[in-house]
Structure 1
């Protein structure tokens, strides 16, 4: 398609783009450093090659892909007023952003299953959740993202576009669909289908896992064992809230919140993509003592190397 769209940024706040770039750039750096650090730790520390940390590493990869697909173009728009994007590049960006979001959701389901097995079947944990199964779960999450999201740009290629200026900071599916001037009902229906299948089904599976976990926890004999079991789930629960609450709110307001200002829609759409990616490494870094221990060890090693005397006293 020989069409060039123009991303307009945040409607009504165009004059504030330069100032708005500061928090977005800060989030971008936080995501790169936080997710990159955890990926480095999991890759280099043999003690972190357990099933939970491998799933966490896959989650960090999905977060980095969505961030790298979205933020560089957003910063070009905010800093240099360069919002032009070719149609094929726009559809590619859409595929990577939405595809990584679907993959992230599938990985959260896998992590809920991991917590279920760890608490309800602790003696068979390594048998049930082998490393090969973790690899298959990762491939399944990736396949889900590709299969569900690929029809979105393919359906868009059959449309004729009457408007080239997209009032958004990235090529969101619904924002691009609204630029078309012919029949877009299939696009709307398929977009809603993906949301219901991903958010609805994944939340249902996660909720079912935690119902079984709670049933197992209440049967534990000691209070300490109950607190320990619940504490192992706390990081995952925080990540679920950070992922699904902004996504649901953004999706609902995008479809039925006609009285909500356009800049609120766009800010929410950016928030639900960037907020989980920024908070995930922070939450897991705080809640998981293995990661805290490795980070502390690396920091102490770096400090010791910096303060160590560079020159030995000369021998007489």
Structure 2
């Protein structure tokens, strides 16, 4: 395993920090992290499998849920090799090319997840506010189109990350996380980073911020519709259908806000705080979403129970 002191790095190689100050505990830290990654991979494989094999779940809401699970699965896969590589003592070096690819996928998948959550909020809005036209508005073709638009938006909007390949890195080559992030690479560049910094800010405003505002708007309209329902039982049933999605929205946006605040205003904080916030941003949504939907969504819950009971028999 590479170490910090006297470590010679080529101009196209970077050193991942890992968990500063806790190096002697890596073998212990590796156990919970390996467990988390195992749950992330298993949970986000089970959800799409259940949706694919259960005919009654072939509806727009569950198609969007499968997209969310696939995005979370890819997010876990994008960082597992560097995080566990450091903790298990395999390697903490990463080439510039590999770093840029990882950066592209991490930020691209974040953009994708935000888009999927927005699509799911639109699904909830139609189901509650205009239920009679639900099947005519959200056809399979429309769901596929929405999925393709979300993927295309993410793939194209993150493309300027490739510019990092042509930057000159004259400072130390030590990254502050267990994986590569755009702002981390910018911090080490000696080239003019003005465009990248402004573009990153514009991208956050045009995707994450705009998506979150549209999700908020959809829930204001849903709330207005639900409160107009006379029956208290029907109100409760309508709110119940939104709980899982609301939890996923909070699980996704709160870590992003936290990481942004730490990067912008937490210069005085310990490097370990930055690393922990980065890992929460990467791992918390993929870990929690399968758990949320397995518990809160009755159809998924019953189907998963059947799978494991059959295996037990």
TM over 0.5: yes
Alignment match of 2:134 (pick from 125, 131, 141): 125
Instruction: Tell me if 1:4 matches 2:19.
Output: no
Provide, for residues 19-42 of structure 1, a one-character-per-residue CA deviation record: whole Å limited to 9, x for no partner: 222221111001111111111111
Within 5 Å, which residues of 2 pair with 1:56-71? 56-71=65-80
Offset of 1:86 from its aligned partner? Answer: 1.2
CA contact (8 A) 2:248 2:289 kept: yes
Alignment match of 2:85 (pick from 76, 87, 92): 76
Structure 1 runs of 4+ aligned residues shifted over 4 Å read: none
Structure 1 distance, partners of 2:195, 2:181, is 16
Within 5 Å, which residues of 2 pair with 1:209-288? 209-288=218-297
Provide, for residues 260-302 of structure 1, a one-character-per-residue CA deviation record: whole Å limited to 9, x for no partner: 1111111101101100100001001111110111112222322
Cα RMSD for the two superposed structures? 1.4
Alignment match of 1:160 (pick from 168, 174, 177): 168
Q: What secondary structure, in the 3-state scheme, does the structure 2 residue paired with 1:259 have?
A: coil
Structure 2 distance, partners of 1:178, 1:16, is 28
CA contact (8 A) 2:177 2:278 kept: no
Structure 2 distance, partners of 1:16, 1:141, is 40
**2:188 alignment partner in structure 1:** 179
**1:200 alignment partner in structure 2:** 209
Structure 2 distance, partners of 1:15, 1:143, is 43
Scaled by the length of structure 1, what TM-score is found? 0.92
Gaps of 5+ in 1: 305-316
Structure 2 distance, partners of 1:271, 1:244, is 11
Offset of 1:252 from its aligned partner? Answer: 1.5
Offset of 1:185 from its aligned partner? Answer: 2.2
Structure 1 distance, partners of 2:107, 2:47, is 23
Q: How many residue pairs are counted as aligned between the two chains?
A: 303
Residues 211-220 or 290-299, more deviating: 290-299
Alignment match of 1:33 (pick from 42, 50, 53): 42
CA contact (8 A) 2:47 2:66 kept: yes
Q: What secondary structure, in the 3-state scheme, does the structure 2 residue paired with 1:85 have?
A: strand
**2:310 alignment partner in structure 1:** 301
**2:3 alignment partner in structure 1:** none
Offset of 1:2 from its aligned partner? Answer: 6.7
Structure 2 distance, partners of 1:291, 1:249, is 31
Structure 1 distance, partners of 2:20, 2:157, is 29
Structure 1 distance, partners of 2:45, 2:208, is 27
Instruction: Tell me if 1:188 matches 2:197.
Output: yes
Q: What secondary structure, in the 3-state scheme, does the structure 1 residue paired with 2:279 have?
A: helix
Offset of 1:113 from its aligned partner? Answer: 0.1
CA contact (8 A) 1:11 1:168 kept: no
